[in-house]
A and B are shown apart, each in its own frame.
Chain A
Amino acid sequence: MTPASPTGAIRYDLQLIADMVPPGARVLDVGCGDGELLAHLSITKQIDGRGIELSMAGVRAAVGRGVAVIQGDADTDLRDYPDGAFDYAILSQTLQATEHPRDVLANLLRIADRAIVSFPNFGHWRSRLQLLTLGKMPVSEYLPHQWWNTPNIHFCTIRDFLLLCRDMGIVVERALALDEHGRPRSISGVGPLANVLGAQGVFVLRRSTRA
């Protein structure tokens, strides 16, 4: 087992999410992979973290880092958590791979006060261009799968996502549009430009019923 470097840098988009989490928060990372983000947060911000991960290799690596992680998935396992069990639920690059994204979102905001959700934006200009010029489903370095083998079964655009949030009465507290390198663009994360220039979107959400 190679222990994770305790203070080492983490992937840029993960760092961006890490910056949104306040110290000492109770955090659930859904689709936590090898637990990199949770391990980083527990060292740098002393959070109380839990993870859910589908792959056995990911779970083993996360457990080896001292992260509490269960093997499971967003569609079936979120419903087991009681209401308000967490301050933050993180769903990074996973929403588009869930079977019932709407239920997943609803569950995230049931079990946590806030959700941080990131996903690849299907409305990005490169995707639009591929569809327009080639007439084919977009394939890129960031969306490397063909239509017939992609785990991403529920792609959406940033605009689609914002419409769903409005429909569900979810408040978007923060929104960032990231470029292809995972760096935030200096444009509004909820505006029409974000839907064209954002390779992915990152959103901090909360229930509208809460002040």
Chain B
Amino acid sequence: MNDTPPAQGPLGRAPGPGPTNHTATLCTREPMRLDSGGELGPITVAYQTQGVLNAERSNAILVCHALTGDHYMQGPHPVTGKPGWWEIVVGPGRVIDTRRYFVICSNVLGGCLGTTGPREINPATGQPWGLGFPVITIGDMVRAQALLLDHLGIDTLFCAIGGSMGAMQVLQWAVAYPERVRAAVPIAGSWRHSAQNIAFNEVGRQAIMADPDWSGGDYLSEGRVPRRGLAVARMTAHITYLSEPALHRKFGRKLQNPTGVSYGFDADFQVESYLRHQGASFVKRFDANSYLFITRAMDYFDLAAAHDGVLARAFQGTKTRFCVISFSSDWLFPTAESRAVVRALNAAAARVSFVEVTTDKGHDAFLLDEPAFHDTLSGFLNGLAEQAGLPPAPEDPS
């Protein structure tokens, strides 16, 4: 079991600083080359760090966020005021112990919380980029992260960790910069986006583009927001993050009004009300065009494509240690996809560990209190840290 230290307050000797949020301006001299052939620069990258980088610069962990995530691992979130998305995992005394590691999470390229994306102003026009933003890839996101690490003076990552689209970035890191990644933990991810997932993304994009307030992508300069379209996109996607048993356990066929149905199209069922709430709160914190660009980047992701469809070749000669984790009830990124990654890593004679965590929480299990997952992750990191000679975190004075 993991200790659960107080969330705030002094912890042990030499506690690392809590979360600090920063922005960096990169590519000021020459623009960044994009996979599409285009160029982008200078770019701004917003990021959060927790903990202290050691003198050897050997304890840095990069956390890669998912499609609608951001760099606020620890809150409060600047828009919603809510806790950060991975407070349960990252922090002093937690699974990713910030008394031991220096943890970095950056808002992805194309995002909407401070990093250069379609919501930001295009310096060439003085208007928001909108659809004029270049189409980016997971490879471009990772390139921007590598530039950020250069900027921070970090040559090698102790570990790259991420769930869902974050897992794609982690795998991309391991393939594009094998010598810069000691260990990689792709969680609930895949080496390529499946046809079903492209299909779901397309439904979301079409919902956004069918909203008249989207205005061909120019809603920001027209002072409009495609709330309905973006909310429907979120509602659809949200279903894929859960599982049938989890939905049933939470809502069943329970009604909003226990006296009966309305014989109308209001949200009679609690599950409808829940989804509407998810959609409505999402549009307050996320940009519709960012959603288009980031889902597109996921669709284009295919690590085997550049290697004649043979994934193992992407990992040839890798020295990185992998810990692949999947969740049994995840039908968006099912275990079979993680197993295919493991198979390829085995074929490349990589050092790989793999666990399928048994849970009914679906894809989102990586964001939730899932002790078997947390034990696996902390076990892997502890074993790695011992072998790397990283000093253990100081004990709590209690």
Residues of chain A whose beta carbon lies under 8 Å from any beta carbon of chain B: 1, 3, 50, 56, 59-72, 80-82, 85
Interface centre among B343, B356, B376, B383 (most CB of A within 10 A): B383
- Of the stretches B225-233, B286-294, B346-354, the one at the interface is B346-354
Contacts between chains A and B (CB distance < 8 A), count? 74
14 additional A-B pairs beyond A63-B380, A68-B353, beta carbons within 8 Å, are: A1-B375, A60-B376, A60-B379, A64-B375, A64-B378, A66-B382, A66-B386, A67-B353, A67-B383, A71-B356, A80-B347, A81-B347, A82-B346, A85-B346
Residues of A within 8 Å of B372, CB to CB, are: 56, 60
Interface centre among A1, A67, A81 (most CB of B within 10 A): A1
Residues of A within 8 Å of B354, CB to CB, are: 59, 69-72
Query: Nearest Cβ in chain A — how far from B32, in angstroms?
Result: 35
Count residues on chain B whose CB falls below 8 Å from chain A CBs: 27
Q: Bound complex: CA of A64 vs CA of B356, how far in Å?
A: 15
Closest to B339 in A: A72
24 residue pairs A–B, Cβ–Cβ below 8 Å? A1-B375, A1-B379, A50-B351, A56-B355, A56-B358, A59-B376, A63-B323, A63-B353, A63-B383, A64-B375, A64-B380, A65-B379, A65-B383, A66-B384, A66-B387, A68-B351, A70-B324, A70-B354, A71-B356, A72-B354, A80-B343, A81-B347, A82-B347, A85-B349
Confirm or deny: B26 has a beta carbon within 8 angstroms of a beta carbon on chain A.
no
Q: Kindly identify which residue among B347, B356, B357, B383 contacts A66, using a CB–CB cutoff of 8 Å.
A: B383
Residues of B within 8 Å of A69, CB to CB, are: 353-354
Looking at chain A's contact residues, is the secondary structure mostly helix, strand, loop, or mixed? Answer: mixed
Tell me whether A59 and B382 are in contact (CB under 8 A).
Answer: no
Confirm or deny: B321 has a beta carbon within 8 angstroms of a beta carbon on chain A.
yes
Tell me whether B383 and A59 are in contact (CB under 8 A).
Answer: no
Tell me whether A68 and B321 are in contact (CB under 8 A).
Answer: yes
Tell me whether B342 and A64 are in contact (CB under 8 A).
Answer: no
B 266-297 contacts with A by CB, 8 A: none
Q: Bound complex: CA of A56 vs CA of B342, how far in Å?
A: 16
Tell me whether B357 and A56 are in contact (CB under 8 A).
Answer: yes
Query: Nearest Cβ in chain A — how far from B184, in angstroms?
Result: 13
Residues of A within 8 Å of B349, CB to CB, are: 82, 85
Residues of B within 8 Å of A61, CB to CB, are: 379
Closest to B377 in A: A63
Query: Nearest Cβ in chain A — how far from B14, in angstroms?
Result: 23
Tell me whether B352 and A63 are in contact (CB under 8 A).
Answer: no
Query: Nearest Cβ in chain A — how far from B347, in angstroms?
Result: 5
Closest to A59 in B: B355
Query: Nearest Cβ in chain A — how far from B388, in angstroms?
Result: 10
Q: Bound complex: CA of A63 vs CA of B381, how far in Å?
A: 9
Closest to A81 in B: B346
Residues of A within 8 Å of B386, CB to CB, are: 3, 66
Q: Kindly identify which residue among B346, B357, B375 contacts A70, using a CB–CB cutoff of 8 Å.
A: B346
Tell me whether B378 and A70 are in contact (CB under 8 A).
Answer: no
Q: Bound complex: CA of A17 vs CA of B315, how far in Å?
A: 32
